[in-house]
Structure 1
Amino acid sequence: MNDCCSVIDLRQYTLHSGARDTLIELFDAELVEGQEATGMHIAGQFRDLDNPDRFVWIRGFRDLPARADALKAFYYGPGWRTHAAAANAAMVDSDNALLLKPLTLGAGYPRLDSVRPDAPAGSVIGGAVYHRGSADDGFVAFFTDQIVPVLAETGAEPVAVLESLVAENNFPALPLRDEVVLVWLARFADDAAYAEHRRQLDASPGWRQHVLPELVSRTVRPSQELRLRPTTRSQFR
């Protein structure tokens, strides 16, 4: 497995209309290295292609104690104090956050020593968030045995598979969603490749007749589909 992190935050921010590019410019320029200096790994920053007012990002930590230490160091430090007002002015809601642990981090997931690019990306990071009833529901086996083969057949081999880390939030200043999920993410070369995956998936008899009905029965509310464009400095692209 990729040596990145044993704890991962998936954060989805709702922003004021028209504020996303401003926040991304600030984030990419001022908030990446400052967080990584405290021990975090800023693996991915994205525009949600289906919601112009949503910014999605992923950060990782060595373990839970390291998470607490890093968050305290950053949010009570000079870097955040300098830019907090500008960042918060863009946000309507920053509480949509999930505490996760990796089941799979493949070769396409950024490593701690991955080069950080500085160029626009045409790729798409696609995936889904599945909302589960409990941590012992057998969903991981269902996902591995039934969903992953169909995803792979339709051009969406997961790069990252994550599930909820059921643990107390050790930095309560940043709230977390209290639910159990499984998240998968895959890389597509461009919009056309993502669209072709969706076309093949929707046309798959096995998916429509067998896997999708069981997926619906095993989840407590509709899945969130993710279709994300990496920002200029996102490592995951």
Structure 2
Amino acid sequence: MNVIVELRQYTLHPGALDTLVDLFEQEFVTGQEAAGITVGGRFRDLDDPDRFVWLRSFPNMEARERVLQAFYGGPVWQAHRERANTTMIDSHDVLLLRGPGFAAQNSTGPVVATICHPLEPMAFADHFEQHLRPALAAAGTPAQAVHRSEHAENTFPALPIRADADVLLWFTAGRAPRLPDLSTRLHSVPQQLRLEPVRVRQP
């Protein structure tokens, strides 16, 4: 089932990642879920020690507005927002998507998010399904949880999203997939985020 998904990438102050991860795992996961938000994967970026990547999802845009208001106006965020915000340099790299959402099934293994910015989104989606998806599966790096941009109006403008982006993205377990030359179909070289599911520090 396709839902509304946010892929959020945060640039953090050096050395602040563990603080934010601890807050997420101890407070923000259960706090958001209590408000009606489905929290997906939370990841460290293996190529950037000061980047935090995570996903959350909502049944539709109307529900997104309602549950975000509930969480950000509620006691959990109010109690911990100052500490969370002090870890961040930038929290505005947010893609609004439609897809199944994603949470890594193997909590100990890395995953790769491949993000493509197609010149012609509909044509590229067809090319992906007819050619690229079968090729990825044949190479042992099958595409999981394929998402495309959602262009609905942002129903919670207090949190900006990247309105300029039109993407197709998917996740791969383990190694990064090798891709064919897609230069005639994309605005830029595909971005591949090598991600590791977060592990909470032991007390």
Specify the alignment match of 2:187 in structure 1. 220
Measured after TM superposition, the shift of residue 151 of structure 1 is 1.5
User: Is the 8 Å Cα contact of residues 9 and 58 (structure 1) preserved in structure 2?
Assistant: yes
**CA distance in 2 between partners of 1:49 and 1:142 (Å):** 29
Contact residue 100 and residue 163 of structure 1 kept, 8 A: yes
How far, CA to CA, are the matches of 1:227 and 1:42 in structure 2? 20
Deviation at 1:156? Answer: 1.4
Indicate the residue corresponding to 2:166 in structure 1.
180
Q: Does 1:55 align with 2:55?
A: no
Amino acid aligned to 2:114: A
Secondary structure of 2:48's partner? coil
**For 1:32-82, what per-residue CA distance to the aligned partner results, in whole angstroms no more than 9, with x for missing partners?**
011011111001100010111110000010111000001111111111011
Unpaired segments ≥5 residues, structure 2: none
Contact 1:13 1:94 in 2 (8 A): yes
Given the superposition, is the C-alpha separation of residues 220 and 180 from structure 1 closer, same or farther in structure 2, using an over 3 Å criterion?
same
1:89 aligns with 2:56: no
Give the SS at the match of 2:94.
strand
The residue aligned with 1:13 is 10
2:63 alignment partner AA:
A
Whole-Å separation in 2 of the counterparts to 1:181 and 1:148: 16
Deviations 1:99-151 (A, max 9, x none): 0001x66xxx55xxx9xxxxx94201113111123544x11111112211221
2:155 corresponds to 1:170:
yes
Alignment match, 2:63: 66
TM-score normalized with structure 1 length: 0.78
Paired amino acid for 2:150: L
Q: Which of 100, 115, 126 pairs up with 2:112?
A: 126
Letter in 2 for 1:56: V
One-letter amino acid matched to 1:15: L
Which structure has the highest helix share of the two? 1
Which stretches of structure 1, 4 residues or more, deviate above 4 A after TM superposition? none
| TM-score of the pair, normalised by structure 2 | 0.90
In structure 1, which of residues 147, 153, 159 is the aligned counterpart of residue 144 of structure 2?
159
Which residue pairs with 2:29 in the alignment? 32
**Secondary structure of the equivalent of 2:84?**
helix
Q: Secondary structure at the match of 2:158?
A: coil
Aligned to 1:98: 95
Aligned residues: percent identity?
42
The AA in structure 1 aligned to 2:159 is: L
One of 110, 132, 143 as aligned partner of 1:147: 132
Residue 26 (structure 1) shift: 1.0
Question: Structure 1: which 5+ residue stretches go unaligned?
Answer: 115-119, 189-193, 202-206
**For 1:75, which of 62, 72, 76 is the aligned residue?**
72
8 Å CA contact 1:101–1:164 kept in 2: the answer is yes
Matched to 2:27, the amino acid is E
Q: Which moved more, 1:75-84 or 1:149-158?
A: 149-158
Give the SS at the match of 2:35. Answer: coil
Give yes or no for contact 2:183–2:189 (8 Å, CA) kept in 1.
yes
- Paired residue total: 199
Give me the whole-angstrom Cα distance separating, in 1, the residues matched to 2:199 and 2:15.
18
| Aligned partners of 1:42 and 1:60 also within 8 Å | yes
Assess if the C-alpha contact under 8 Å between 2:145 and 2:171 holds in 1: yes
Relative to structure 1, the CA distance from residue 80 to residue 134 in structure 2 (aligned partners, 3 Å threshold; closer, same or farther) is farther
Aligned to 2:197: 230
Specify the SS of the correspondent of 2:160: coil
